[in-house]
Amino acid sequence: MSTQLAKYSKGLNSLPPYLFVRIDQLKQEERAKGADLIDLSIGDPDIPTPNHIVEAMSKAIRDSATHRYPSSNGRLDFRQAAANWCKGRFGIDLDVKEEVISLIGSKEGIGHTPFAFIDPGDVVLVPSPGYPVYQAATILAGGIPYPMPLLRENNFLPLFEDIPQDILNKAKLMFLNYPNNPTGATSTFEFFGQVVDFATKHNIIVCHDMAYSEMYYDSNAPHSFLEVPGAMDIGMEFFSLSKTYQMTGWRIGFAAGNRDLIAGLLKIKGNLDSGAFEAVQMAGVTALSSSQDCTKKMRGVYQERRDILVNGLTQAGWDVYKSQATFYVWIATPAGYTSEEMSTRLLRELSIVATPGNGFGDYGEGYIRMALTVDTKRMQEAIDRILRW
């Protein structure tokens, strides 16, 4: 194909390089040299999907009725299971027919959302550091991402009073994410109340990404944004089965919230995708409706790994934020090193793969992120390498 034919859109050309593509390139180079890599870069669980969910999928996939096109909004039994789960976990009452839809993973729903609500020139408030999809989807939809700094001195919560008035005049939508990737911070019920007041005052849609709702430590279960009075009037929340049930490759999640916002997202989905595979949705019903003991076990596994990593890095003299949730640890780089310099040194000299913080936005500079996705033996080996460094 000629270069002229393959001319990319302005939106596509405006995207920064996707963070994990560069990391994969570096990993391949080191593996080619024979390096024994301890990969703490990408948040992909190493724990298998619980067997009862696998068995449900195995049964569902043998039903030929699941082999046909699904609906864009999802099976009613899946949406009912999602609503029941939200009621049991958070006390939220949802209208299954109008306030819940299935997603092909929460990333899909998040990525489609700006296309439903953003016109060229509209501003979208995005956390920095934050999941890169918030910014990318905004740019592709023709919007303008405005970074909200998440600073350690403010417990990685944005300060709305710092947003200029001219930005607020153009702001149409805001992304939030707690428990937070990449910092591991959590929100408070009171903060979500501030979000509702702020968004209501400035007529801003709130999209809360809650992919890590069940990945918390020390029995400090996070709140849902939708628990707060008034949240259903201005927002929706994205839930994922990926991390909760170790189902990252299955691509299943759901969105819940204001019925008009859900309808807008559904209209985009109806035009751009054909919904989640029904057999996966049926497995999702089993995941959401069965005993949640598997999530408790998961938390125990990751908390043990977190403690090994945090305690070991602290012993080595590193400045570490002790994650309250997620399976990430957010680490300040030593003085004199940028995020990329530090992550490159770890890879080249210790064969430890970490993610440079600047890949999550400008305010991630000065940090690296490590994921708790190796077993305790390998985690201790990573610490031993650092202590010998």
The per-residue pLDDT for range 351-388, each reduced to its tens digit, is 999 999 999 999 999 999 999 999 999 999 999 999 99
Does residue 229 carry a pLDDT above 80?
yes
Domains of the chain plus CATH, in order, are 16-45+294-388 (3.90.1150.10), 51-289 (3.40.640.10)
Structure confidence at residue 1 (pLDDT): 47
The per-residue pLDDT for range 88-120, each reduced to its tens digit, is 999 999 999 999 999 999 999 999 999 999 999
CA 54, CA 50: separation in Å to the nearest integer? 7
The per-residue pLDDT for range 134-168, each reduced to its tens digit, is 999 999 999 999 999 999 999 999 999 999 999 99
The residue-averaged pLDDT of 43-52 equals: 96
Q: Are strands 355-356 and 367-371 parallel, antiparallel or unpaired?
A: antiparallel
Where is 149: in which H helix or E strand?
A: strand 144-149
CA 89, CA 85: separation in Å to the nearest integer? 6
pTM of the entire structure?
A: 0.96
Does residue 304 carry a pLDDT above 90?
yes
State CA 256 to chain mean position distance. 16
Q: What are the two backbone dihedrals, phi and then psi, of residue 176, each rounded to the nearest 5 degrees?
A: -130, 160
